[in-house]
Amino acid sequence: MAAIDRRPGIRPRASVGRRLDVIARIGFPVGMTILLMLLTQAPLDIPEQAALLPAVALCCVWFWSLFRPSNIPPLAVFLIGLCMDLLGYLPVGVGIFTLLAVQALALGVRRSLSRRGFFWIWGVFGGVAAAASLSIWLLTMLLTFHLLAPYPAIFIAALSIAIFPILAVPFAAAHRSVADPDQA
pLDDT at position 67, please? 93
Counting the structural domains of the chain, the total is 1
Beta-carbon count within 10 A of 41 CB = 13
Q: Which domain holds residue 123?
A: 3-183
**Higher-confidence residue: 24 or 81?**
81
Asked whether the beta carbons of 51 and 155 are under 8 A apart, the reply is yes
Q: Strand (E) positions, the chain?
A: none
Render pLDDT for 10-22 as a digit per residue (tens, 0 to 9).
666 778 888 888 8
Asked whether the beta carbons of 161 and 123 are under 8 A apart, the reply is no
* pTM, 2 dp: 0.89
pLDDT at position 6, please? 65
In the chain, the N- to C-terminal Cα span, in Å, equals 10
- Calculate helix-pair angle for 16-39, 74-87, nearest 10 degrees: 30
